[in-house]
Amino acid sequence: MTDVLRRGRASLAFGFFAQGVAFALLVTRIPAIQDRYGVSDALLPAFLAAVPILAGVGSVTTEHLVKRIPPSRVLRWSQPVVLLALLGVGWGDRLVELAVALGAFGLAVGALDASMNMLGVSLQRTYGRSIMLGFHATYSLGGIVGASLAWVGAHWHMALSVSYLPLVLVLLPATLVGSRWYVDGSAPSPQAHEAAATPLVFKLLLPLCLVMTFAYIGDSTVSNWSAKYLQDVLGSSEQLATLPYNVYMVTTLLGRAIGDFGVRRFGAVAVVRVGALVAALGFAVVAGAPGAWVGMLGFTLLGLGLCVLVPGTFAAAGRLFPGASDAAVARLNIFNYVGFLIGSPLVGALGDTWSYRGAMLVPMVLVLVTLVYARSFASGTDRYGDRHERPRTADVGRGSNGL
């Protein structure tokens, strides 16, 4: 039984890693994609917005799919679609081909994100201790690897197809083989699914949805505006302006790598509160930075603070609705994309009409609101922290071999 859990945990961690690589390879090569297909600056936002919108549709669809088939099967087949869609982005040469590839990527990413976190939540419940941040740490590691490989492709002026093909050839069979060891939790009962659909349950889930949205507004602020902020507002060189996001990703990885230990020792509520305070401090430092290196310190703090909020929120949804955790995770996942859609345009509009320093204060305030909802991260006695751990030999539910 322990071997089943270990294999399930390792294979799911690799799935998170592969997703981090694929997503980073897409978003970090947007300028090259724009040049390849001749996408105008006016049309580019529509293409970029379509991906998270369709991902939200994929997440909603997954909520209904997992009532009939296990999440492991959704994950097993959505991950190859993401990788093949990425390859399609690199091989096409007409706008309609880009639209089809990005559409498939968005729908599959929504299903992938939802099912991946469903399995993570159910596996954490089986372990009886916090392991969710570790999964997201491997996603961050994948993002660093993907961004680094994208830099290599851009530096050597590789065509997108040449840059993407080797990674897909490696990751596609590896994820398919690894998917044989995914472990599903116990299936929620029909009564639990019905309860999860009631307005009362969504009211209980709403605080976590807001935290997810605020976290991704903060994350998209860093990913979309850190380079411009350092160069245009703080007067850094172009080379130095490329560093904040890399620093942010590295500190996100470090924070998540140790985050599970913090949850086990101090509890999820304390970790979320500290994360929110550190993230708010990071935004404050960025907003008031007199120069580029102080701004870098602020982005470092942002990585350490924001990194715990998203995985902690998925885990909290699983604890709040143990009989309907799949539905809760699928609905919560939608607000991942809501935050992504809101964050970048919000900061850009405030920066243009007010100031970019002032714009950084808005995500700071939103992150601080997380403190109001911190108690939603604890539920009854099933806390995965504060020494409330259950034996590792708990029921592992359905293994996915042969599915």
Question: Could you report the per-residue pLDDT of 333-349, keeping only the tens digit for each?
Answer: 999 999 999 998 999 89
Q: Are residues 181 and 227 in the same domain?
A: no
In a domain, 155, yes or no: yes
Q: Are residues 182 and 318 in the same domain?
A: no
Q: Are residues 340 and 373 in the same domain?
A: yes
Q: Are residues 10 and 67 in the same domain?
A: yes
* Buried/exposed 10-41: b ≥16 CB within 10 Å, e otherwise: ebbbbbbbbbbbbbbbbbbbeebbbebbebee
In a domain, 391, yes or no: no
Domain with residue 331: its CATH number is 1.20.1250.20
Question: Could you report the per-residue pLDDT of 222-248, keeping only the tens digit for each?
Answer: 988 888 898 889 998 877 877 888 889
Structural domain including 308 reads 188-386
Q: Is 242 helix (H, G, I), strand (E, B) or coil?
A: coil
pLDDT over 70 (residue 195): no
Residues paired with 183 in a beta bridge: 399
Task: Give the domain-ending residue among 131, 155, 186.
Answer: 186
pLDDT over 60 (residue 389): no
In a domain, 403, yes or no: no
Contacts of 6 (CB under 8 A, 6+ apart): none
Q: Are residues 36 and 147 in the same domain?
A: yes
Q: Are residues 291 and 199 in the same domain?
A: yes
Q: Are residues 244 and 345 in the same domain?
A: yes
- pLDDT at position 133 is 97
In the chain, the number of structural domains is 2
HSE-up of residue 362 (Cα within 13 Å, Cβ side): 22
Q: Are residues 294 and 172 in the same domain?
A: no
Question: Could you report the per-residue pLDDT of 237-289, keeping only the tens digit for each?
Answer: 877 877 888 889 899 999 999 999 999 999 999 999 999 999 999 999 999 99
In a domain, 30, yes or no: yes
Task: Give the domain-ending residue among 186, 212, 246.
Answer: 186
Residue 294 in tokens: 């102080």
Q: Are residues 192 and 147 in the same domain?
A: no
